[in-house]
């Protein structure tokens, strides 16, 4: 679709412009993708991008996926695959089509409601997850069904005890955790009627994530604070509905290794990754040519670098299409969020960094796309509403009626796509580099970004200084190809200190 227009899920009809005939259609080119270009130039993108230098270390423990880390082999396989397809009567096996990482498999069926723990229940994702549960419960009630799909077993919050108490009253979970110990004493006043167990502190968060009665953990804590609990859920073999992308950015190699060992599931909540996941069902792993993440472009999509210099936290938080927590809103404005999502996609889907691309799509209706080797591009579309991807992860591989908004095709509208401007949004270059190099790069960039975003929110640095802080700390860090958890925590501390030093020099 082409032409400009407002998203079609508002109630007012409107006119749309038509495509500029002078503008060529986007398929009139045979430009190689960055990955193809690199391969033509002989750059060994595949091995380097797979998982840092851990290509031979056994990280790719999931059988045939090993082969996918070599982009050259990938191309060769894809070519021979299409040849195979042309041989009349030849049956192409699933192995030849390629299999996806096992943490993406549907969970084992169980004959009762799934018990859910929502970590970060007071945040934007946490509240949307509660809305999905509320809707599923209402559906069960109206069907006079004794057992709903889900039962809320536990919730956590860090500060907003009022919001935590409201959820406790409505859903009567067995466990409530306040991760912030300084607020522990206030719980009795916030929710005197709560009859379940209340615990406080970071360890209580880990205990809830690993509790044997929990089937699904919604990992919706923001930033590095979500790392330990998400890893604990993976270690305990849970189905993790992953919103906390920072876990994969910091420790993607460890998290995926662990999931393989414990048979945990890691299913995406991030809307782009949910879209990719849904599209990937159309083909085998070796049939995927590239994955195209869409980006709204944030509030400063059309702003020059000079204009971006003096933006305020309030302007940066005002996202045009999504309502989100403070940190991810600033990340969206710098496009560091897309950078983190590139890294997340690489780990989650076992992709080669050279297969990842970003396109700016201001309407946020196409949530991402997958191109297969035959040139088919599949997209997942819906109005921007996180309830949909959350629900998709909680009930995978099923679908049920959702409370999310619907598209209205009776109203004319247009969808726009434009290449990202790497000069105005250098965070994307950082993200591509980190996805390609792997190793310790993710933990460093994540830490530097968290510190710089906080400094910007506190008006200690300019908006335009956030990404340079990340770049500087990334460039000066002692690269480690396969850091273990202890090294990751140490590198995180180091990067935070370096970022503070860098910020105080501004």
Q: Which lies closer to Mg ion via its Cβ, residue 239 or residue 243?
A: 243
Smallest CA-to-CA distance from 489 within 182, 181, 241, 225 is with: 225
Residue 386 binds ligand NAD (CB under 6 A): yes
β-strands 197-200, 175-178 pairing: parallel
Residue partners of 226: CB distance under 8 A and separation at least 6: 119, 120, 219, 220, 244, 246, 247
Residues 72-111, mask of contacts with ligand NAD (x by CB under 6 A) = ----------------------------------------
The answer to whether the beta carbons of residues 358 and 293 sit under 8 Å apart is yes
Instruction: Decide which of Mg ion, ligand NAD, none touches 232; Cβ closer than 5 to 8 Å per partner kind.
Output: none
Write out the E strands in 447-489: none
- Asked whether the bond before 397 is cis by omega within 30 degrees of 0, the reply is yes
Q: Which lies closer to ligand NAD via its Cβ, residue 68 or residue 161?
A: 161
The answer to whether the beta carbons of residues 293 and 340 sit under 8 Å apart is no
- Cβ 180 to ligand NAD, closest distance in Å? 7
Residue 126 binds ligand NAD (CB under 6 A): yes
Residue 125 binds ligand NAD (CB under 6 A): yes
Residue 122 binds ligand NAD (CB under 6 A): yes
Residue 120 binds ligand NAD (CB under 6 A): yes
**What does the buried/exposed string (b/e) look like for 399-420 if buried means 16 or more CB atoms within 10 Å of the residue's CB?**
eeebbbeeeeeebebbbebeeb
Instruction: Decide which of Mg ion, ligand NAD, none touches 242; Cβ closer than 5 to 8 Å per partner kind.
Output: none
Residues 367-386, mask of contacts with Mg ion (x by CB under 5 A) = --------------------
Please tell me the distance from the alpha carbon of residue 11 to that of residue 391, in angstroms, as a whole number.
25
Residue 123 binds ligand NAD (CB under 6 A): yes
Residues 147-166, mask of contacts with ligand NAD (x by CB under 6 A) = ----------xxx-------
Q: Which lies closer to ligand NAD via its Cβ, residue 209 or residue 292?
A: 209
Please tell me the distance from the alpha carbon of residue 51 to that of residue 66, in angstroms, as a whole number.
11
Exactly one of 325, 403, 412, 414 binds ligand NAD (CB under 6 A); that residue is 325
- Cβ 240 to Mg ion, closest distance in Å? 17
What is residue 12's DSSP assignment?
S
- Cα 465 to chain centroid, rounded: 24
Please tell me the distance from the alpha carbon of residue 365 to that of residue 468, in angstroms, as a whole number.
31
Residue 246 binds Mg ion (CB under 5 A): no
Instruction: Decide which of ligand NAD, Mg ion, none touches 84; Cβ closer than 5 to 8 Å per partner kind.
Output: none
Q: Which lies closer to ligand NAD via its Cβ, residue 75 or residue 207?
A: 207
* Binding segment (CB under 6 A) for ligand NAD, from list 122-130, 257-265, 297-305, 492-500: 122-130
- Cβ 272 to Mg ion, closest distance in Å? 5
Report the DSSP beta bridge partners of residue 155. 118, 176
As to burial, measured by CB atoms within 10 angstroms (0-12 exposed, 13-18 middle, 19+ buried), residue 3 is middle
Exactly one of 225, 318, 411, 457 binds ligand NAD (CB under 6 A); that residue is 225
Residue 270 binds Mg ion (CB under 5 A): yes
Residue partners of 419: CB distance under 8 A and separation at least 6: 359, 360
| Residue 46: HSE in the Cβ half-sphere, 13 Å Cα cutoff | 18
Q: Which lies closer to ligand NAD via its Cβ, residue 130 or residue 503?
A: 130
Write out the E strands in 348-469: 356-360, 366-372, 377-381
Residues 179-208, mask of contacts with ligand NAD (x by CB under 6 A) = x-----------------------------
Q: Decide: helix, strand or coil at residue 69.
A: coil
- Cβ 300 to ligand NAD, closest distance in Å? 18
- Cβ 126 to ligand NAD, closest distance in Å? 5
What is residue 19's DSSP assignment?
P
Residue 331 binds Mg ion (CB under 5 A): no
Residues in touch with ligand NAD (CB under 6 A): 120-126, 157-159, 179, 220-222, 225, 243-246, 270, 322, 324-326, 328, 386
The residue ranges that bind Mg ion (CB under 5 A) are: 270-272
């Amino acid at each position: 679709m082409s032409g400009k227009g407002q998203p079609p899920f508002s109630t007012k009809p409107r006119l749309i412009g038509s495509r500029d005939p002078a503008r060529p259609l986007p398929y009139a080119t045979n430009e190689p993708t960055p990955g193809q270009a690199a391969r033509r130039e002989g750059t060994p993108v595949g091995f380097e991008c797979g998982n840092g230098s851990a290509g031979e270390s056994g990280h790719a423990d999931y059988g045939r996926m090993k082969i996918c880390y070599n982009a050259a082999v990938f191309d060769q396989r894809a070519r021979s695959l299409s040849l195979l397809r042309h041989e009349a009567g030849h049956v192409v096996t699933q192995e030849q089509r390629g299999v996806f990482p096992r943490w993406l498999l549907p969970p084992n069926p169980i004959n009762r409601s799934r018990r859910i723990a929502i970590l970060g229940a007071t945040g934007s994702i946490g509240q949307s997850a509660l809305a999905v549960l509320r809707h599923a419960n209402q559906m069960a009630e109206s069907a006079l069904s004794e057992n709903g799909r889900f039962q809320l077993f536990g919730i956590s919050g860090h500060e907003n005890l009022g919001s935590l108490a409201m959820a406790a009253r409505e859903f009567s979970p067995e466990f409530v955790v306040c991760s912030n110990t300084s607020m522990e004493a206030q719980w009795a006043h916030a929710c005197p009627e709560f009859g379940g167990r209340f615990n406080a502190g970071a360890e209580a968060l880990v205990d809830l994530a690993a509790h044997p009665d929990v089937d699904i953990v919604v990992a919706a804590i923001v930033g590095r604070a979500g790392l330990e609990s998400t890893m604990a859920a993976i270690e305990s073999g849970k189905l993790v509905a992953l919103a906390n992308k920072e876990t994969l950015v910091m420790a993607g190699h460890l998290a995926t290794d662990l999931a393989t060992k414990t048979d945990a599931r890691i299913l995406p909540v991030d809307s782009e990754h949910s879209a990719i996941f849904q599209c990937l069902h159309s083909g085998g792993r070796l049939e995927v040519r590239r994955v195209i993440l869409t980006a709204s472009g944030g509030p400063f999509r059309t702003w020059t670098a000079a204009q971006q210099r003096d933006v305020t936290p309030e302007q940066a938080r005002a996202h045009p299409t999504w309502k989100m927590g403070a940190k991810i809103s600033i990340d969206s404005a710098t496009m560091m969020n897309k950078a983190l999502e590139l890294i997340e996609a690489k780990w989650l889907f076992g992709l080669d960094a050279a297969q990842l691309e970003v396109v700016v799509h201001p309407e946020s209706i196409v949530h991402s796309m997958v191109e297969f080797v035959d040139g088919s591009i599949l997209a997942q579309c819906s109005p921007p509403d996180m309830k949909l991807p959350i629900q998709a992860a909680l009930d995978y591989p099923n679908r049920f009626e959702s409370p999310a908004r619907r598209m209205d095709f009776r109203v004319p509208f247009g969808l726009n796509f434009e290449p990202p401007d790497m000069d105005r949004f250098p965070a994307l270059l950082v993200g591509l580099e980190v996805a390609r190099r792997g190793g310790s790069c993710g933990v460093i960039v994540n830490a530097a970004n968290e510190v710089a975003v906080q400094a910007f929110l506190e008006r200690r640095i300019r908006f335009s200084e956030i990404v340079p802080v990340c770049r500087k700390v990334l460039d000066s860090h002692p690269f480690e190809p396969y850091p273990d958890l202890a090294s990751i925590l140490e590198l995180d501390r180091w990067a935070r200190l370096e970022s503070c030093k860098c910020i105080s020099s501004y």
